[in-house]
Amino acid sequence: MRIKKNEGSDGTTNGAVKRERGHVHEQVLRYMRRGLMIGAFLPGQVMSLRKLAAGFGTSPMPVREVLSRLVAANALEETKGGSVRVPRLSPEKLSDLFAVRELLEGMATELAAKKAKPALIAELNGINKQLLQAIEKRDIANCLSSNQKFHFTLYEAAESEVLLPLIESLWLQFGPTMYMSLLIPSMPWNAADHEDILKALKEGNAAAAKRGIVHDIRTTCRALLSVAGSNGIELPFAQGPELLFEN
């Protein structure tokens, strides 16, 4: 995924270079957004421009542009020293984010449940089985990835052009806390709420499906708040683990 240098002046190569740069930019953005949403990047973690650029086999420029876009979207923050890091959410902001999640994701779930077909239920059931296997193996990366995939497969079924981007913006902000939720003894991951949601979808009970997603969100919020200090959730390590996930 190396960006080729400009080799000509006839406009043809210039156009190819611009397309390649655009492709790299979108690939970096897609990777970073997914990493934030599933919790592969952690609160307080500093984004290393050099490391990210090396990982993508590109120059720092597209990575810098992506980080700037994510700062503008409130998914990342710039420190006084000029570095970019994942924000630590205060208990107040965490509560606000999860309260809005209940509203938007509850609405999306209700809409999806009213349109749910057997193919969607089968797909969600398969994803949830992957999640349960990951939980049993304590496979953190796949726990986080499968959980996010379950939620967004459900929300996409609502077929709302308004709700999904709003939900994505929330996940970009709170997603980095999800890794910590796996470490809280008071809230062991068991996907019980997912099972309730699947049952409601099979029965065509939109209200029950909505209750299941709201309970899932609320339970996670309570657990995260139980370990959050005044400055947000404190990590027992300075940097996050190297979590590999599918782009």
CATH code for the domain of 31: 1.10.10.10
Catalogue the E-assigned strands of the chain: 77-78, 84-85, 228-229, 232-233
Weakest mean pLDDT among 2-11, 160-169, 216-225: 2-11
Is residue 56 located within the same domain as residue 118?
A: no
Q: Of the residues 85, 103, 120, which one is the last residue of a structural domain?
A: 85
* pLDDT at position 41 over 80: yes
What pLDDT, in 10s, does the model give residues 98-128?
999 999 999 999 999 999 999 999 999 999 9
For residue 165, the model assigns a pLDDT of 97
* pLDDT at position 178 over 50: yes
**Two structure tokens written together for 99:** 């309260």
Whether 7 is in a domain gets the answer no
Report which of residues 102 and 52 the model is more confident about: 102
Under 8 Å between Cβ of 71 and 77: yes
Q: Of the residues 58, 85, 112, which one is the last residue of a structural domain?
A: 85
Pick from 58, 10, 4: which is nearest to 31 by CA? Answer: 58
CA 114 from chain center: how many Å?
25
For the segment 174-201, the average pLDDT, to the nearest whole number, is: 90
Whether 154 is in a domain gets the answer yes
Is residue 21 located within the same domain as residue 131?
A: no
For residue 177, the model assigns a pLDDT of 92
Is residue 27 located within the same domain as residue 138?
A: no
For residue 119, the model assigns a pLDDT of 98
Under 8 Å between Cβ of 213 and 207: no
Report which of residues 22 and 200 the model is more confident about: 200
Is residue 169 located within the same domain as residue 71?
A: no
Is residue 43 located within the same domain as residue 144?
A: no
Is residue 36 located within the same domain as residue 100?
A: no
Is residue 143 located within the same domain as residue 208?
A: yes
Is residue 177 located within the same domain as residue 120?
A: yes
For residue 239, the model assigns a pLDDT of 45
Under 8 Å between Cβ of 107 and 149: no
Residue 246's pLDDT band (boundaries 50, 70, 90)?
low
Is residue 107 located within the same domain as residue 20?
A: no
Whether 111 is in a domain gets the answer yes
Beta strands 232-233 and 228-229 are antiparallel
Domain CATH for 169: 1.20.120.530
For residue 67, the model assigns a pLDDT of 95
> Mean pLDDT over all residues of the chain?
86
For the segment 205-211, the average pLDDT, to the nearest whole number, is: 98
For residue 55, the model assigns a pLDDT of 84
Q: How many residues does the chain have?
A: 247
% of the chain exceeding 70 in pLDDT:
84
Range of the structural domain that residue 56 is part of: 12-85
Whether 2 is in a domain gets the answer no
- Domain count for the chain: 2
% of the chain exceeding 90 in pLDDT:
63
Q: Of the residues 40, 64, 85, which one is the last residue of a structural domain?
A: 85
For the segment 189-204, the average pLDDT, to the nearest whole number, is: 95
For residue 106, the model assigns a pLDDT of 98
Dist CA 179 CA 191 (whole Å): 15
Residue 12's pLDDT band (boundaries 50, 70, 90)?
very low
Is residue 78 located within the same domain as residue 146?
A: no
Whether 31 is in a domain gets the answer yes
